[in-house]
Structure 1
Amino acid sequence: MLAVVIRGAAKFKRKYVTVAASPYFKPTYYKDSYMRIIQRTLPDDLVNDFPAHFPATLSRIYRSRGVTGLKELEYKLASLEHPKQFFDIDNAAGILADAVELGQRIVIVGDFDADGATSTTLGILALTAMGAIEPQYIVPNRFEYGYGLTPEIVLLVQELEADVLVTVDNGIASLEGVAAAKAAGMKVIVTDHHLPGDTLPNADAIVNPNHPDCGFPSKALAGVGVIFYVMSALRAQLTQRQWFEKAHIPRPNMSDYLDIVALGTVADVVPLDANNRILVQQGLARIQSGKARPGILALLEIGGRDASRIKATDLGFVVGPRLNAAGRLDDMSIGIECLLAEQTMLARSYAEQLDMLNRERKAIESDMKQQAERSLQDLETGSELPYGMCFYKEDWHQGVIGILASRMKEKCHRPVIAFAQADEETLKGSARSIPGVHIRDALDLLAKRHPALLSKFGGHAMAAGMSIKTEDYPAFAKAFDDIIEEWVTPEQLEATLYTDGALAAQDFSLEFAEQLRVAGPWGQAFPEPCFDGEFELLQQRIVGEKHLKLTLRDPQTSMLIDGIHFFADLTVWPNTAQRARLVYKLDINEFRGQRNLQLMVDHIEPLS
């Protein structure tokens, strides 16, 4: 059974991926036959503190993202927000400091995604460096226990004789699990970044930037960022107590963990606000200098990346998926052990296992995506997509539904939930949303209107997870669609690409491409620069069976430029067009020691 809820009477149109607009510009746009392309323009009164010699195009790019001067691009550790701004962080650090001094057993309960894996790894490494006695971790297997701290997980923690239980990247919604741990006599510290519900768990300390009483300004911090701050506060407490001198151990340098923080932050696709950009940039610098964990270097190597030249996107598209594959298909402890490994050969062994799992994940994902797409193709001409889409098939892999939801959201440009069977009576769902639709709030409203439909849920503005009864799927899908229909505007459902406009003739250079490469870190809510323009098409050919290789001429300069458009629509390309409108990123192709300018084409439209 493949279920997808369809209603209405308007023709389904092909959709493309959307990049969220910055609040710092007033958009002007033109529309082609199926794509709205918005060029970022700056209001005249926007502050510009960049020096006169600074590249004009780069200044415009930064200002469109809210950066108005060089001071905001220094990314120094001293500019990080202070841990003291966190609600309950001193309390959490005090509990952990007591546990370290008394030799108590600390157990970390993590999550089975890349953020959870990096959070768990950082916690274990930092606690060990600070003298904790054999800190241990448990990451729930998603297929047996599901997400978060549950009473069943607490039983496993009890077997480890834990005195202090610390959650990372979860726990804010674990009311029953925290209660069970407290009843068992444990101290409980919740570190999380997910949005809290109406009721908070009765933990001894809760450190979460989205806690209603928390004054920490960076609400976009990932779970790994939260535990980084908690460990920093713990180090401060132990320093004040002169613990390191008494224990005859060196005081750890917290910057040693920034490669892990950068990986978890990018992989969890949290917005790169100013504070997160500092964490990511500092972590990237550590990786580029060869000082990263052996596991991170091994994952980059197996992904064909030169660690000395990586960008933030390499963490998101090369390392993150391989790490996530363990939690999706097997056991995230493989990923955590890869990151914990001290020896290069051991790290490579784990990295090879993760790479194999990722290949398997890709095959499963491809099959599921084809099935979901066929359900759209089967629609009658004139039918309309639902405003909020739900997909479900009994044999889908519940570890891959999050990726499927992302792919279908990109294709249909609507909020999407993909479901898989958890057991005979329960479906697990993974949701992905579009800009302007807060998916966790939508689920909260659905739960208030239909209390019996949602067993549990949690998440962010753009992603969420939930459980429902199998028999309630049709009713849930309709209720979800109804809420999204109330919330969205027609403009939100239009496929849109935001660009930084046309490039000046002098910017088609290796020098400017290199400036863009190091000008980040680029990522969620701080998008990598892309441009649009018309080019002459001199050559077109398909490479790798599905990628369009182009030779282009820039009309401004008559310069010949190579271009590559991955996963081209083979029903359209190659063709007889002599000109095309492109949306592209400026890139450098390095091959056999040669470096050439190349356009990474996101969208191509034939003109003639």
Structure 2
Amino acid sequence: MAAPRIVRRAEVDIGGPWPDSIPPLLRRLYAARGAGSPDLARPRLSGLLPPDAMEGMDLATSLLQAAMAEDRHIVVVGDFDCDGATACATGVRGLRLLGARRVSYAVPNRMVHGYGLSPALVEELAALQPDLLLTVDHGIACHAGIEAARAHGWQVVVTDHHLPGPRLPAADAIVNPNLPGDAFPSKALAGVGVVFYLLLALRRKLRDAGAFEGGEAPDLGALLDLVAVGTVADLVPLDANNRTLVAAGLRRLRSGQGCAGLNALIAACGREQARLTASDIGFAIGPRLNAAGRLEDMALGIECLLTDDAQRAGELATLLNGINAERRAVQQDMTDDAEAALSRAMLAETDVPLAPCLFDAEWHPGVIGLVASKMKERLHRPVLAFAPSEPGSDLLRGSARSIPGFHIRDALAAVDAANPDLVQRFGGHAMAAGLTLALANLPAFEQAWQAHAAQVLDDGLLQAEMLSDGELRPQEFDRFHAEALRDGGPWGQGFPEPLFDGLFEVLDWRVVGERHLKLTLRHPDRREPLAAIHFGGWQGQPPSTHAHLAYRLAPDDYRGGQAVQLVVEHRAQA
């Protein structure tokens, strides 16, 4: 596929006034991301949006207040990804903090129950004798499961952030900032963010009712470590409100105030707690929690997040670390299969489809989302990956990942509307979605899917771009600025980590770890050479002596002292 095109961000007025503690480089980067003032660049908890505007909040908190007053059994029903696990732990911990005495949790097993609150899960929950189910990070598409739960006489409160379909489920209350007409200003909350907001509103209702002895309400800030991890891992846009939540959660984690499970996971993945970043959550902590839901049972992950026993947390973190290693191996095998299939198509002089549909009867349904994501990055095209829901099943689970400009859930909705008998169910976001369909329907679905993609996709959307923050000044290649960039976040989806580009002379190079390139570079305006690493950069050919690089500036903690290195994201001959 064509190499990405490096596009520099337009220069904007840096606004201000800025405090001296924020260096000019960061001021420029913040302003380029739409944060032209200190309050927008580094929002504080005092500026967190209030929960009042979220539709359904008053009814939901009233139901929970009554259930707590009557000592009824509340079951928090989680989901099998990191957002769902952290949302479940947040719900359980938060309700207990607020005084609920009978709180337990349940989570579907991907291989047994399928997604969300399904009728199969409801039948198992009957043994718990719940009075009220609180769904977190799902529910907006669980019509059949909610109807089954209410047939048992249970109340159902849905908290979700996924886009609703044309018909809402028959729950007793629904809290979702993406409901039609909902006035809550931030639509980017993750599932864990929505349940945290529910707890904030419930705390106020209980305080107004005089429920707390001495009038001192519990500090729900103790849950922000979980909120930060779920928000980053779910790749929702880090608007100002989400950055507020994530930054506060990172402060707790860095200071050692996180829950025992997260502290143990940080240790298990070898990260330095005092310097933890959003990137560490996204690439290390989140995958270890996600792996439990992909290959085993997410109850392991939730138990890790709920225990206050450091020794037990360490045991569970070690187990999750091992499951994640297995997940990586399975993912690599499946990705190799996908790449081989596409290579065969190209050798046969067949064009790669505009929106590839990949299927293998031997693939694991828990890992198809990662395969779709890897292939989307490789091809810069929307990708759907399918696997049997269980070995030998004629029912397929599909996971879709998209590129900017192609709304994947809306595309599925369009195909479903034009072909109402193909897809059994679907849901998701602009960039990620899931679906279920019969194996026999896969050829017809693929034909309809490609036809829709041909109508929507054009050459402009299929050209990958890397947004660069331009060139660093010669004096900015130092430890001070590297640490300022590392600590200047949280960076993430919608508020991207700084990326720079420029021309360099390659003075020396060597291959490390079989696939990576270690480089020694010279910047045209600096005398001192620069160290660089290009992960996955070895393609079997020596690098050119002059290169155009897209890179990040990072502290080089391996060499220590004042050392820095460039982390190369893209290399082209100059």
Structure 1 length-normalised TM: 0.92
Quick one: distance in 2 between partners of 1:595 and 1:443?
51
The residue number in structure 2 matching 1:408 is 375
Q: Please name the residue that 2:479 is paired with.
A: 510
1:591 is paired with a residue whose SS is: coil
Match of 1:49 in 2: 16
1:432–1:448 Cα change, 3 Å:
same
Pick aligned residue for 1:178 from 134, 146, 159: 146
Within 5 A, what are the aligned runs for 1:405-444? 405-423=372-390, 424-444=393-413
AA in 2 matched with 1:356: G
Residue 28 of structure 1 corresponds to none
Are 2:342 and 1:399 equivalent residues in the alignment? no
1: distance between equivalents of 2:173 and 2:181? 13
Whether 1:497 and 2:466 are equivalent positions in the alignment is yes
Shift of 1:275: 0.3
Paired amino acid for 1:215: A
Q: Distance in 2 between matches of 1:304 and 1:108?
A: 31
Alignment of 1:509-548 (within 5 A): 509-548=478-517
* SS of residue in 2 equivalent to 1:68: coil
For 1:243, what is the secondary structure of its paired residue? coil
How far apart are the structure 2 equivalents of 1:581 and 1:122?
A: 46
Matches for 1:124-523 after TM superposition, within 5 Å: 124-245=92-213, 251-381=217-347, 382-423=349-390, 424-523=393-492
Separation in structure 1 between the aligned mates of residue 510 and residue 6 of structure 2, nearest angstrom: 26
Summarize deviations over 1:213-235 as a string: whole Å, max 9, x none: 31111101000000000011111
Q: Quick one: distance in 1 between partners of 2:124 and 2:47?
A: 40
Indicate conservation of the 8 Å contact 1:50/1:59, yes or no.
no
Verify the 8 A CA contact 1:536 1:580 in the aligned structure 2: yes
Give the corresponding residue for 1:92. 60
Matched AA of 1:209: P
Q: Deviations over 1:414-442 (max 9, x none)?
A: 10000001152210000000001110000
Helix, strand or coil at the partner of 1:214 = coil
Amino acid at match of 2:545: Q
- 1:471-503, Cα deviation, whole Å (9 max, x unpaired): 111111121111122112211101221110111
| In 2: Cα distance, 1:250 partner to 1:294 partner | 25
Amino acid of the residue matched to residue 237 of structure 1?
K
Tell me the amino acid that sits aligned with residue 184 of structure 1. Answer: H
Deviation at 1:59, TM superposition (A): 2.2
- Name the CA distance, whole Å, in 1 between partners of 2:560 and 2:28: 32
In the alignment, structure 1 segments of 5+ residues that lack a partner are 1-12, 15-33
- Give the letter for the 1:403 counterpart: L
Output one character per residue of 1:294-319: Cα deviation in whole Å (capped at 9) or x when no partner.
Answer: 11111111111111101111011010
Tell me, what secondary structure is at the counterpart of 2:460? helix
Compute the displacement of 1:592 (Å).
6.2
Paired with 1:354 and 1:472, the residues of 2 have a C-alpha distance of 36
Distance 2:381 2:247 in 1: 32
**Helix, strand or coil for the counterpart of 1:585?**
strand
**Residues 232, 278 of structure 2: 8 Å contact kept:** yes
Q: Which deviates the most, 59-68 or 82-91?
A: 59-68
8 Å contact from structure 2 (residues 162, 428) kept in 1: yes
Structure 1 residue 158: deviation in Å? Answer: 2.0
Partner SS, residue 156 of structure 2? strand
- Give the Cα–Cα distance (whole angstroms) in 2 for the partners of residues 252 and 545 of structure 1: 52
Cα RMSD (Å):
1.5
2:470 & 2:415 partners in 1: Cα distance? Answer: 40
Shift of residue 359, structure 1, vs aligned partner: 0.3
Task: Classify 1:225/1:535 alpha carbon distance in 2 versus 1 (closer, same or farther; 3 Å).
Answer: same
Give the Cα separation in 1 of the matches to 2:84 and 2:98: 21
Q: Does structure 2 retain, via aligned residues, the 8 Å contact 1:131–1:249?
A: no
Matched-pair identity in %: 46
Aligned AA (1:273): D
Aligned residue number for residue 22 of structure 1: none
* Deviates most, 157-166 or 426-435: 157-166
**Structure 1 segment 99-138 matched on structure 2, within 5 A:** 99-138=67-106
- The answer to whether the Cα contact below 8 Å between 2:478 and 2:562 also exists between their aligned partners in 1 is no
Aligned residues: 570
Question: Which SS does the other structure have where 1:292 is aligned?
Answer: coil
Q: What SS does structure 1 have at the residue aligned with 2:400?
A: strand
- Following the alignment from structure 1 to structure 2, what is the Cα–Cα distance between the partners of residues 365 and 221? 28
Cα drift, residue 594 of structure 1? 3.1
Q: What residue number does 1:564 align with?
A: 533
User: By how many angstroms is 1:593 displaced?
Assistant: 4.5
Counterpart amino acid of residue 294 in structure 2? R
Change in 2 beyond 3 A, CA 1:510/1:580: same
Structure 1's consecutive aligned runs of 4 or more residues displaced over 6 angstroms after TM superposition are none
Structure 2: stretches of 5+ with no match in the other structure: none
Q: Distance in 1 between matches of 2:266 and 2:454?
A: 42
Shift of 1:250: 6.2
Higher normalized contact order (CA 8 Å, seq sep 6+, divided by chain length) = 1
TM-score by length of 2: 0.97
Contact kept, 8 Å, 1:119 with 1:227, in 2: the verdict is yes
The letter of the residue matching 2:498 is P
Amino acid in structure 2 at the alignment position of 1:302 = A
Equivalent residue in structure 1 for 2:5, among 30, 36, 55: 36
Q: Distance in 2 between matches of 1:431 and 1:291?
A: 36
Aligned residue in 2 for 1:60: 28
* AA partner of residue 370 (structure 1): D
Tell whether the 8 Å contact from 2:556 to 2:565 is kept in structure 1 after alignment: yes
What SS class does the counterpart of residue 216 from structure 1 fall into? Answer: coil
Alpha-carbon distance in structure 1 between the residues aligned to 2:250 and 2:25:
24
Q: CA distance change for structure 1 residues 79 and 540 in 2, over 3 Å: closer, same or farther?
A: same
Contact 1:584–1:599 under 8 Å retained in 2: yes
Conserved? CA contact 2:359–2:386, under 8 Å: yes
| TM-aligned CA deviation for residue 47 of structure 1 | 6.7
C-alpha distance in 2, partners of 1:387/1:544? 34
